[in-house]
């Protein structure tokens, strides 16, 4: 076969290929084909080694597998395995179930904060429960998250069922808004003493009181069913775009908030619709006289819950006293959340308690009676009120003599209980002023029996017992005195003496003495 031009022989199926001028050993072949010979063919490019990219997930798995696992020596300081809140880590968890976690910051009353990774379904109750555990609080009850807007002077207690992430979503991106963690004894106090929170003169005449029920029975039945009686009364309202305040008659009903355009008239043609309760949040205002020119300090406001907080969106209202303001704000909460608040209250009552003995003593305090054991026939109940008061004074004198005898024993170690032991107690607040003490008690709920002790700013070496009773703060001077060469403290001009402030508090936790109510709840500040 004749072939024109230069050609090369290619042997298919062989292990070796040759040019026409070369010789080689043919290992095997089946077909011979002809292919044109390419002259001056460039050499194939040299393949150089490239760096191998190692994925982060693979690197983490290699590192974790090479390091032995070390058990956690303090498991009680970590968050529970099923808790919706993760704490203690500055980086978000890597598991797929917590991808959407958000970092929030909660402040204590000492301006220190703690960062938490919170998943979208975490409620205020969940966050409080974990903070109680990690901060090693003395008890697990009556803690709350407070939404604070410092520049506007607004604050409100988050309900236990509110989702924290959703609350923060309504905050302005650049603001001083923050969450506080502190005590709040009055969150559900209106379920225990409804008459104090809903005075008879503020209940609307449209409430059904014609069936023979008293005002207290009506309020109790409504609260148990998850609702509230209709509230009415005068409030000072700040006029839009003006600094003046005007006194207007308001009505709070299930359908919303109304005001009367003609005095206190309830006729439909005189009622003006103000706001829908389901879309409102209620805030108390601090320092309202300075910030908004309010006539008195008992100011609160309502604001649409879904809108960002701006000063022009606030509906500012001012009551005559603290009881009136508390009535309005409690009614707002009940009308908005209804049965949910009662469920939250029942859930808080069923929570585990660390101070079971103290709570049982407080619940059974109303059942205590005066007894006389001087006769031979055994004890008898003292029915006469004057005789009961006389027996209480005699018991106080006997207690004083027993304590004086105990302190005068020669084998008593004087260093076992120093005179400055009160400085280590949670209820002692040092040199805070009278106004600051009232503010601390107001912030934690204005519940009967809440107290603190502070140093007197007007009398040297004296102390002041600040006590809450019927939504008001009363102050009692604790004076040091000497008897028999020993220093004592007294509040009743030497009738009852105490060797230190701790003994004074312990005595009045079970005996009223000159106080209107026994000491129950210490006003404390937690450190995060």
Domain end point (choices 302, 325, 349): 349
The burial of 391, by beta-carbon neighbours within 10 Å (0-12 exposed, 13-18 middle, 19 or more buried), is given as middle
Per-residue pLDDT at 242: 76
Q: Which of 312, 315, 228 is nearest to 273 (CA)?
A: 315
- 315 with 448, same domain? no
Q: What is the CATH number of the domain that holds 260?
A: 2.30.29.30
Query: Are 285 and 291 in contact, with CB atoms under 8 Å apart?
Result: yes
Helices (H) and strands (E) in the chain, counts: 12, 22
At 189-198, the pLDDT tens digits run: 888 888 888 8
Residue 366 lies in a domain: no
Per-residue pLDDT at 368: 60
Per-residue pLDDT at 361: 42
Q: What is the CATH number of the domain that holds 519?
A: 3.30.505.10
pLDDT at 82 > cutoff 80: no
At 26-66, the pLDDT tens digits run: 444 444 444 444 445 565 665 555 555 555 544 444 444 44
Q: Which of 85, 321, 280, 284 is nearest to 184 (CA)?
A: 284
- 108 with 234, same domain? no
Residue 314 lies in a domain: yes
- 133 with 203, same domain? no
- 216 with 338, same domain? yes
Residue 400 lies in a domain: no
At 480-493, the pLDDT tens digits run: 998 888 889 999 98
Look up residue 183 and give its two tokens.
């005590």
Per-residue pLDDT at 213: 63
pLDDT band at residue 15 using 50, 70 and 90 as cut-offs: very low
pLDDT band at residue 348 using 50, 70 and 90 as cut-offs: confident
pLDDT at 328 > cutoff 60: yes
- The secondary element (H helix, E strand) that includes residue 258 is strand 256-260
pTM: 0.68
Q: What is the CATH number of the domain that holds 138?
A: 3.10.20.90
pLDDT at 138 > cutoff 80: no
Query: 13 lies in which domain range?
Result: 7-36
CB count within 10 Å of CB 235 equals: 22
Per-residue pLDDT at 31: 44
Residue 521 lies in a domain: yes
Residue 380 CB partners (closer than 8 Å, separation 6+): 371, 372
Choice among 14-23, 109-118, 119-128, 370-379 with the minimum mean pLDDT: 14-23
Residue 197 lies in a domain: yes
Domain end point (choices 310, 333, 349): 349
Q: What is the DSSP letter of 448?
A: T
pLDDT at 375 > cutoff 90: no
Domain end point (choices 183, 218, 240): 183
pLDDT at 128 > cutoff 60: yes
> In the chain, what percentage of residues exceed pLDDT 90?
31
What would you report as the CA-atom Rg of the chain, rounded to the nearest whole angstrom? 38
Q: Which of 208, 262, 252, 255 is nearest to 232 (CA)?
A: 252
What is the chain's mean pLDDT, rounded? 76
Choice among 64-73, 372-381, 451-460 with the minimum mean pLDDT: 64-73
CA within 13 Å, CB half, 482: 4
pLDDT top residue among 117 and 417: 117
- 274 with 304, same domain? yes
pLDDT top residue among 403 and 146: 146
- 320 with 443, same domain? no
- 132 with 195, same domain? no
Cα–Cα dist 77/93, whole Å: 17
- 331 with 213, same domain? yes
Alpha helices in 135-209 (DSSP H): 164-169, 194-197
Look up residue 169 and give its two tokens.
């979503």
Residue 1 lies in a domain: no
- 212 with 319, same domain? yes
At 148-183, the pLDDT tens digits run: 998 889 999 999 999 999 888 888 777 788 999 999
Q: Tokens 């402040």 appear where? A: 107
Q: Tokens 């040019």 appear where? A: 19
- 112 with 215, same domain? no
Query: Are 229 and 203 in contact, with CB atoms under 8 Å apart?
Result: yes
- 200 with 344, same domain? yes
Cα–Cα dist 39/524, whole Å: 96
Domains of the chain: total: 4
pLDDT at 409 > cutoff 90: no
CA–CA–CA angle 195, 199, 202 (5° rounding): 145
Residue 186 CB partners (closer than 8 Å, separation 6+): 326, 444, 445, 446, 447
In order, the DSSP letters of 77-144 are GSPPTT-SEEES-SS---SGGGTT-EEEEEE-TTS-EEEEEE-TT-BHHHHHHHHHHHTT-S-SSSEE
- 334 with 200, same domain? yes
Per-residue pLDDT at 298: 93
Residue 380 lies in a domain: no
Q: Which of 143, 248, 151 is nearest to 188 (CA)?
A: 143
Residue 365 lies in a domain: no
């Amino acid at each position: 076969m004749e072939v024109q031009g230069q050609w090369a022989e290619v042997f298919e199926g062989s292990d070796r290929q040759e040019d026409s001028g070369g010789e080689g050993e043919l290992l095997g072949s089946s077909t011979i084909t002809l292919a044109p010979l390419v002259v001056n063919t460039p050499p194939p490019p040299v393949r150089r080694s490239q760096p191998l990219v190692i994925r982060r997930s693979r690197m983490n798995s290699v590192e974790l597998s090479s390091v032995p696992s070390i058990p956690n020596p303090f498991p009680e300081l970590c968050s529970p395995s099923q808790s919706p809140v993760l704490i203690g880590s500055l980086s978000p968890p890597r598991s797929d179930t917590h991808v959407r976690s958000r970092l929030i910051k909660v402040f204590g009353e000492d301006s220190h904060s703690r960062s938490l990774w919170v998943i979208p379904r975490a409620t205020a109750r969940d966050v409080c429960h974990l903070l109680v555990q990690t901060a090693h609080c003395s008890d697990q009850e009556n803690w709350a998250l407070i939404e604070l807007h410092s520049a506007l002077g607004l604050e409100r207690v988050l309900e236990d069922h509110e989702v924290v992430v959703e609350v923060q979503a309504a905050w302005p991106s650049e603001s001083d808004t923050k969450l506080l963690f502190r005590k709040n004894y009055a969150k559900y106090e209106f379920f225990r003493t409804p008459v104090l929170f809903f005075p008879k003169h503020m209940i609307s005449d449209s409430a059904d009181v014609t069936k023979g029920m008293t005002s207290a029975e009506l309020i109790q039945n409504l609260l148990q069913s998850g609702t509230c009686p209709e509230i009415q009364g005068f409030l000072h309202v700040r006029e839009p775009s003006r600094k003046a305040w005007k006194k207007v008659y308001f009505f709070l009903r299930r359908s919303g908030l109304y005001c009367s355009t003609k005095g206190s008239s309830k006729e439909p043609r005189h009622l003006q619709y103000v706001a829908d309760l389901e879309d409102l949040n209620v805030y108390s205002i601090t320092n309202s006289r300075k910030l908004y020119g309010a006539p008195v300090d008992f100011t609160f406001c309502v604001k649409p819950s879904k809108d960002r907080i701006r000063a022009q969106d606030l509906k500012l209202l001012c009551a005559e006293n603290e009881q009136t303001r508390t009535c309005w704000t409690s009614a707002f909460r009940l009308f908005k959340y209804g049965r949910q608040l009662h469920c939250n209250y029942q859930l808080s009552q069923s929570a585990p308690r660390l101070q079971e003995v103290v709570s049982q003593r407080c619940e059974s305090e109303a059942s205590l009676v005066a007894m006389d054991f001087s006769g031979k026939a055994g004890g008898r109940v003292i029915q006469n009120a004057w005789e009961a008061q006389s027996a209480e004074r005699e018991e106080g004198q006997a207690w004083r003599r027993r304590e004086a005898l105990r302190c005068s024993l020669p084998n008593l170690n004087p260093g076992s209980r120093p005179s400055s032991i009160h400085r280590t107690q949670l209820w002692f607040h040092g040199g805070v002023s009278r106004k600051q003490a009232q503010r601390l008690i107001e912030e934690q709920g204005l519940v009967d029996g809440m107290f603190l002790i502070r140093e007197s700013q007007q009398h040297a070496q004296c102390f002041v017992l600040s006590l809450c009773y019927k939504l008001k703060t009363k102050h009692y001077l604790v004076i040091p005195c000497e008897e028999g060469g020993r220093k004592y403290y007294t509040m009743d001009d030497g009738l009852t003496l105490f060797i230190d402030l701790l003994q004074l508090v312990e005595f009045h936790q079970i005996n009223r003495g000159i106080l209107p109510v026994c000491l129950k709840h210490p006003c404390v500040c937690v450190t995060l």
